[in-house]
Structure 1
Amino acid sequence: MSTSWNVYKHHSSKAMLEEIVALGFKWIELSHGIDAHMVTEISEFVQRGRVRISSLHNFYPVPRERNDLSLLQFTSCREDQRRWAVSFTQRTIDHAARLGASCVVLHFGNVGGLRSYRRLRQLALQGKLYTKEFARAKIREILCRERWSAPLKERAVDCLLQLGDYAGAKGVRLGIENRKAYEEFPSERELLALLEKLSHPTFGYWHNFGHSQVKEHLTLVNHKEWLERVGSRAVGSHVRDVQGLDDDNLPPFSGTIDYPRLVPLLPKDCIFVLDLKGFSRSGAIRASVKRWKNMFLSQETSGGESRSSAR
């Protein structure tokens, strides 16, 4: 389970981790939002064998020197911001190696000034999803976004080439996560091209079920077809559910995502991390995990590396 669920509830990392452990989780992802003062206590908690760390979300911890994460983007037009992004990602990789985590989840950045997701979502909420107005707006946003594709990819590749060998030497994979907002990098087309361009065993795909489902609701992607294309390259995933276009951090099986159809498209050694927000109640979380285990663990062994181990 990800600490995204309760990181903002606690000043003490010990209390944060104990609350997750009390739900029965033995594996935890350390999400963004963790401050530097929490790191030592987390390390001590892990060293005592109370929990194991599956993955870290970049950046860990939140950089004191650059606490505005919008200024730490691999796709930034400013070289100094890209340099800082690489440096702080290397620090995250160092922490991952020390904590025994197998993967770091990466975000890249966006096209400044574009608000494609907001515009298309507003039209959809007005009941215009299958209208000519929406179709024209979607085409307009796609064409505008595509103009930026080449420079964004060039900057991202330059940064990632500095990280591949660094992470590989420490036994840490780097998962490139799909994004919800169309103005963010990479799009689905760019993500596949990025993996091909890098051609490095350190890099893999990190699938966010909620993000793909929201994009499906906006007619930007077919969730199942996308996983059929990229699923074999997945190293991990964020598990959440979606109701319409507003809630994409619900417990699984409480929304519209067809997990029985989608989960088999991911590798057996894929990491599954429950990624929720604080409004999810403990009872609902336990119920969804129980259903997950009944649905998937009955088909496989329940070992720590099982495809269906909801962490």
Structure 2
Amino acid sequence: MTDARIDKGEYSFSTCWNIRRHTTGNGMIEEIASLGFRRVELNYNVTQELLSTIEPMIERGDIGVSSVHNTFPHDPDPDYGTDSVLLGFEDEVKRKRAIELLVNSAAYAHRYGAQAVVVHPGEVPFDYNIDNELKKIYHEQGRESEAYQKLWKEMLDRREDQAPRYIARIEQSLEEACEAIAAKGWKVSLGIETRSRCYQLPTLREASGIIDRLKGAPVGLWYDFGHATMMERMGLYDTLADMEYIRGKIAGIHIHETVGLSDHYCPYIHSGDMNYFDRFLPVIAEAPVKVYELKAACLPDEIHASHDIMLSKLQALEA
């Protein structure tokens, strides 16, 4: 039984927190509900087997679903995984398959009464994981080091040269997916997520441009605060300066904090910084779907404490 004193109201909670320590879907959802969450985001690692015991809970009204995370349910093919070209594939067969999978995710969202599908739209491909190498240099030598700046320029030059082609295909794919969703009459939005690797798409400004060009389509930004912080620290964009481009275009948010370049921590608690995360408070207030996306290391008491601090700050903001 959930303790009424810790009811989290409109806030939702991602299954990424505890999916690796459960073998049954209902056990996973019950643990989340015990934290006071009435709604969950079903992430991309949720399998059909886990759904077999989650779906009866949804049907009974034991839990609500705020959102599902594409590709949903879990698809083991890395071509359609969370770190792939996905909606930007040049290969038309692969691109069409990515659209089909996104529409299928939207079908599940509609079936569960969810408001949105979280989408990792794509990336500019590299021959190796240049983001990993950059983060290694960042930790060992610092962002201002010659080695970091040299490799960063190499990454950025290719990213800036290639991104328009991939973004154009992502826009086409999103438009086709939205047409299929509209034909079904589903009221589900697609949230294109800020990403955690520097060669991935979109930045805040890129997302704003995509949304503007798809005006009228149910596409918005899924603002992942942890990812945005990582990209800001690496040098890809300025969060405060670029945030204004996406105000009024938010489909949903992932709430978590970054310590160094490691994310999915409880805001305010794990960093010990009581000010940095405040920049996201206006976006939290605005967002129609608010989802905590925390790592397994976050303990219940830390989750409650973080939520309480954030709510008190939001209330002060509104006063």
User: TM-score over 0.5 for the alignment?
Assistant: yes
Q: Which residue of 2 aligns with 1:199?
A: 215
CA shift at 1:72, angstroms?
Answer: 7.5
Amino acid in structure 2 at the alignment position of 1:293? L
Post-superposition CA distance 1:282-310 (Å, at most 9, x none):
22112212222232256669xxxxxxxxx
CA shift at 1:95, angstroms?
Answer: 0.8
Contact 2:205-2:246 at 8 Å conserved across structures: no
The answer to whether the aligner puts 1:262 opposite 2:280 as a matched pair is yes
Report the Cα distance in structure 2 between the residues aligned to 1:300 and 1:49, rounded to whole angstroms. Answer: 32
Contact 2:205-2:242 at 8 Å conserved across structures: no
Report the Cα distance in structure 1 between the residues aligned to 2:107 and 2:35, rounded to whole angstroms. Answer: 29
- Matched positions, count: 299
Calculate the aligned-residue CA RMSD, in Å.
Answer: 2.2
Q: Which residue of 2 aligns with 1:93?
A: 106
Report the Cα distance in structure 2 between the residues aligned to 1:108 and 1:160, rounded to whole angstroms. Answer: 9
Which runs of no fewer than 5 residues in structure 1 stay unpaired?
302-311
Which runs of no fewer than 5 residues in structure 2 stay unpaired?
1-12
Amino acid in structure 1 at the alignment position of 2:31? E
Report the Cα distance in structure 2 between the residues aligned to 1:281 and 1:68, rounded to whole angstroms. Answer: 34
Identify the match of residue 28 of structure 2 among 16, 40, 48: 16
The answer to whether the aligner puts 1:284 opposite 2:298 as a matched pair is no
Q: Which runs of 4+ in 1 moved over 4 A?
A: 297-301
Amino acid in structure 1 at the alignment position of 2:70? N
Contact 1:167-1:173 at 8 Å conserved across structures: no
TM-score (norm 2): 0.86
Q: Which residue of 1 aligns with 2:173?
A: 159
Contact 1:231-1:266 at 8 Å conserved across structures: no
Instruction: State the SS of the aligned residue for 1:11.
Output: coil
Identify the match of residue 249 of structure 2 among 220, 229, 233: 233
CA shift at 1:179, angstroms?
Answer: 0.7
Report the Cα distance in structure 2 between the residues aligned to 1:85 and 1:176, rounded to whole angstroms. Answer: 14
Report the Cα distance in structure 1 between the residues aligned to 2:75 and 2:142, rounded to whole angstroms. Answer: 42
Report the Cα distance in structure 2 between the residues aligned to 1:29 and 1:36, rounded to whole angstroms. Answer: 15
Report the Cα distance in structure 2 between the residues aligned to 1:186 and 1:269, rounded to whole angstroms. Answer: 19
Amino acid in structure 2 at the alignment position of 1:104? V
Report the Cα distance in structure 2 between the residues aligned to 1:80 and 1:213, rounded to whole angstroms. Answer: 35
CA shift at 1:152, angstroms?
Answer: 0.8
Post-superposition CA distance 1:207-229 (Å, at most 9, x none):
00001111111122212222122
Report the Cα distance in structure 2 between the residues aligned to 1:165 and 1:90, rounded to whole angstroms. Answer: 10
In structure 2, do the counterparts of structure 1 residues 298 and 12 end up closer, same or farther at CA, with 3 Å as the change threshold?
Answer: farther
Amino-acid identity (%): 24
CA shift at 1:114, angstroms?
Answer: 4.8
Q: What does residue range 1-311 of structure 1 map to in structure 2 within 5 Å?
A: 1-63=13-75, 66=77, 69-70=80-81, 73-110=86-123, 111-168=125-182, 169-245=185-261, 247-253=262-268, 254-255=270-271, 258-265=276-283, 268-297=286-315
TM-score (norm 1): 0.88
Report the Cα distance in structure 1 between the residues aligned to 2:263 and 2:50, rounded to whole angstroms. Answer: 27
Post-superposition CA distance 1:251-283 (Å, at most 9, x none):
111225723232114553432210011121122
Contact 2:250-2:287 at 8 Å conserved across structures: no
Report the Cα distance in structure 2 between the residues aligned to 1:153 and 1:102, rounded to whole angstroms. Answer: 24
Contact 2:226-2:263 at 8 Å conserved across structures: yes
In structure 2, do the counterparts of structure 1 residues 135 and 109 end up closer, same or farther at CA, with 3 Å as the change threshold?
Answer: same
Contact 1:178-1:188 at 8 Å conserved across structures: yes
Contact 1:102-1:173 at 8 Å conserved across structures: yes
Report the Cα distance in structure 1 between the residues aligned to 2:130 and 2:239, rounded to whole angstroms. Answer: 19
Report the Cα distance in structure 1 between the residues aligned to 2:19 and 2:48, rounded to whole angstroms. Answer: 13
Q: Which residue of 2 aligns with 1:305?
A: none
CA shift at 1:117, angstroms?
Answer: 1.8
Post-superposition CA distance 1:53-91 (Å, at most 9, x none):
111110111137x47634781122322221221111111
Post-superposition CA distance 1:98-124 (Å, at most 9, x none):
111001000123214253322322221
Report the Cα distance in structure 1 between the residues aligned to 2:285 and 2:298, rounded to whole angstroms. Answer: 28
Report the Cα distance in structure 2 between the residues aligned to 1:41 and 1:239, rounded to whole angstroms. Answer: 27
CA shift at 1:159, angstroms?
Answer: 1.3
Report the Cα distance in structure 2 between the residues aligned to 1:265 and 1:76, rounded to whole angstroms. Answer: 31
Instruction: State the SS of the aligned residue for 1:129.
Output: coil
Report the Cα distance in structure 2 between the residues aligned to 1:232 and 1:280, rounded to whole angstroms. Answer: 31
Report the Cα distance in structure 2 between the residues aligned to 1:278 and 1:197, rounded to whole angstroms. Answer: 38
Report the Cα distance in structure 1 between the residues aligned to 2:233 and 2:126, rounded to whole angstroms. Answer: 24
CA shift at 1:177, angstroms?
Answer: 0.4
Contact 1:234-1:266 at 8 Å conserved across structures: no
